[in-house]
Structure 1
C-alpha cells in the first residue's frame, strides 16, 4: 500500500460508507475495550470461576491484544497519524474472532457464541476492507 492510496479517498467512495466505517470502528472499539479490559482487570480467581479450563497467561495476552486492537480502531484514524494501522488493527481483530470461533467449536458452544463472534468478525472484516481499499483515511501532512 503506497502513500498515494492513503492520501485521497477512492473517487467512487461515498460519504455514507465513510460514516458506516466510523460507526463500525466505534462499535469495535467499545466491544474490544470492554472484552479485553475485562480480561486484564478481572482477578484470576474470578476468571477461573467463569471457565476453569482457561489458561490465565493466555487470557491476559488476549486481553492485551484486544485492547491494542480497539485502540487501533480509533487512534490512527482519528489522529491521522499512521492511519494505515487502522485496517491492520481490524485484520488483527478479525483474526482473533476466527480463532475464537475455533475455540467455541472445540468447546461445543459455537451456536451460542456465533452471534457475537460472527458479528464482531464481520465488522472487523468490513473495516479492514473499507479502510484499506474503499475509503482510506489520508495521513496528516
Structure 2
C-alpha cells in the first residue's frame, strides 16, 4: 500500500504544478514553493522508494533493502510533515503522519520480528 501511495504521488512530475495547486485546493498549495526541478527530484526519490519497498523482497535479492528503504520513506514523510507545520497547514498534516507511521511500522517489522533474512 505504501508503494502504491508513493507511485501515485509521482504525478507531480507529469502534471504542471499550477494545475495541481488549482485542483488540489489548500492541501496542494505547497507544490508552488518548489521548483520543477525539485519536484522531479522528489518524484524520482518516490519512484525509487516504491521499487525499493517491493523488488528486493519479491526478487529475493538483498531483501535487507526493504527496511532500509522504509526508514528512508519515514524520513521523507517526516520532512513532509515538517514542511506542512512550517506552512501552518495543520489540518492537512494527517495523511503525512499516517504514511510516516506506515513506513516506521514497516521498517520496524522488517528489521525485527518479520525479517526476510530470519
- Aligned pairs, number: 111
Task: Give the alignment of 1:1-141 within 5 angstroms.
Answer: 27-36=1-10, 38-47=11-20, 51=29, 52-112=32-92, 114-138=93-117
Q: Is the 8 A contact 1:32 1:69 kept in 2?
A: yes
Unaligned runs of 5+ in 2: 23-27
**Cα distance in 2 for residues equivalent to 1:96 and 1:124:** 10
Q: Is the 8 A contact 1:93 1:124 kept in 2?
A: yes
**Cα distance, 1:55 vs. partner?**
1.8
Larger RCO (CA under 8 A, 6+ residues apart): 1
Structure 1 stretches of 4+ with a deviation exceeding 6 A read none
Give the SS at the match of 2:33.
coil
- Structure with greater Cα Rg: 1
TM-score by length of 1: 0.71
